[in-house]
Chains A and B, each alone.
Chain A
Amino acid sequence: MNLMNHLPALALAVPLLAAFATPLVAAISPKARNIWVTCVSALVSLIVFGILYRVLTMGTQIYVMGAPSWNISLPSGFAIPVRIILEVDAFNALVAFIASLSALAGAVYGLKFVRKFTGLEFYSALYFLLTAGTLGMIMTGDLFNFFVFLEISSVASFGLIAFWRDRPEAVEASYKYMLVSQLAAQLVLVALAFIYGRYGVLNMAAFSTVVQPDLISKVVLVFLLVALAMKCGSFPMHMWMPDAYAEAPASVTVLLVAMSQASLVVLCRFCFSIYGTAMGTAVIPWTLIVLGCASMFGGVSMAVVQHEVKRLMGYHSVSQVGYMLTAFGVGLLALGDKTAMDGFGLTAVAGGIYHMINYILYKGLLFLCAGALYMAAGSRDLDKMGGLARKMPVTSALFLIAAAAISGLPPFNGFVSKWMIYESVYAVHPILMVVALVSSVLTLASFVKVYQTAFLGPERPQFAETHEVPRAMIAGMCVLAVAILVLSLFPSWTVNTLVRPAAEALVNKASYGAAVMGGAL
């Protein structure tokens, strides 16, 4: 039995089993829980790294749950796709690896961050469930399986956002997020029911081979786009994002960021690999572009005036998601057209994917630094902070790295991905690039404000005995910082080895279907 063949299923089974074993392990002692959490998170990252390595060397990996083959062959030779499969291609594997890195960082950070609160065994159990749900959403190849993992990760995140349960704002944020999330999930379920009723298949690759641009397919696409845009936090439906990201503990927010990107992964899956040119209309790409521009500008303008650090970063999340939606919308516009694709389409999609992985890394690092500020200063309000750079040198250096990455300053990876987005978006219409540049400038302005207020300046008397945060939290932050530095120092290697294959796997609808179906239905 070759264990390497079963890696995709293990990547889901290990966190799931660990989630339910955690209360038992934690009953032994708190130290046992710490060791268990660290080991299982590291194991999950290793498994997903193994999947990424196999995909980059051997092509798309398909894992069928429950039988050697994904279909039932009738005696007449006709094959019907019936089983649940996990389909991992270059795009999925890359985002899954970055998500598992952020889960590892959050888990290690959370060892010391929530140490003095009660109910920690359930916190760790829900954390593993959220990890399993996020990885499942990214790696699945079956539509209903996606819905189940969407709900698993949503329910786990409702509990984790309300972790500080004696704080009224946390419970309110969790309830608001629950309403938006349930609405989105029910829209997804109705869309899946439409697909099943009209086409009779629930397998993503099989659906991509039979989809036609008729009315039902367009209704399905609209429902799915609205629902997944709600989960990503794009402009009209973004109100839950600053609240939920601010009120959750910082180690949880890292994983919430990864979960919203998992919804964006599935959104791209639907638009590029499943519908592709069968979309039949240019309204959908332009809707994505308009939503993206509105999110970019609206998010960052609301962020500049905030007082609270994590709420400010939550609004920046809205704006960064806008960048990705605009990039993918531009890629969709160029989809049927070979010259446009070579000109700016593939660059747009590659820029969107690169921005996605950069965003998970630097936004995770920003939230972890904000959590460190919260723990050291006792408050999230910028008016009460000041002069902390001397007391917390490591945290301020890591914050500087992350803030430079998000603003798109040249040596860092944010610059490369934003450059790819700018040059591809300019080819569609110059005003889109103007909006993106203005948002970038405002992002830089707000992070200069945060850095100067929180870290620079004269020391305040109430912070006389503040000291650096515990080493476990620094270790968690360093995981993400090392990943950002690796992506920043080797940009051409990253783009050629990781991002370009992912972009080509995403836009190539025929190969996605053929990898499973073998070219025939």
Chain B
Amino acid sequence: MSLYTDKVMDHFEHPRNVGVIEDADGIGEVGNPLCGDIMKMYLKIEDDRITDIKFKTFGCGSAIATSSMATELIKGKTLDEALDLTNKAVVEALDGLPARKIHCSVLAEDAIKAALVDYYTKSGREMPESLVGFQPHED
């Protein structure tokens, strides 16, 4: 079996939603250069719905693929639905990841949560319970 599934390779080769949103309502960045991966997510939110999402990622093939898949899974979804996104759902949507690459999916989930925290903070809205005290995982 190859290291990566066809879905991972598809999202690596053709990543969806790459870029920045200049007037983003929420921005989240996790990871660091010493660990070899950084993900940055930009959200546009209207009427409690994620109307647009973009990402930039520094990292390996699975870091790029998990970023891409995570943005696809929550694009157009409500804030509540986005809050429910788990790294497990990202892994399943990619038909699996090698064990030592699971941390990439955790990073993708964390990047989205960090962007949502930024949105709730900036907009002055009440932080949902699941985001209170949010800390990204140690990479």
Decide if A and B are genuine partners.
no
Q: A-contacting residues of B (Cβ < 8 Å)?
A: none
Q: B-contacting residues of A (Cβ < 8 Å)?
A: none
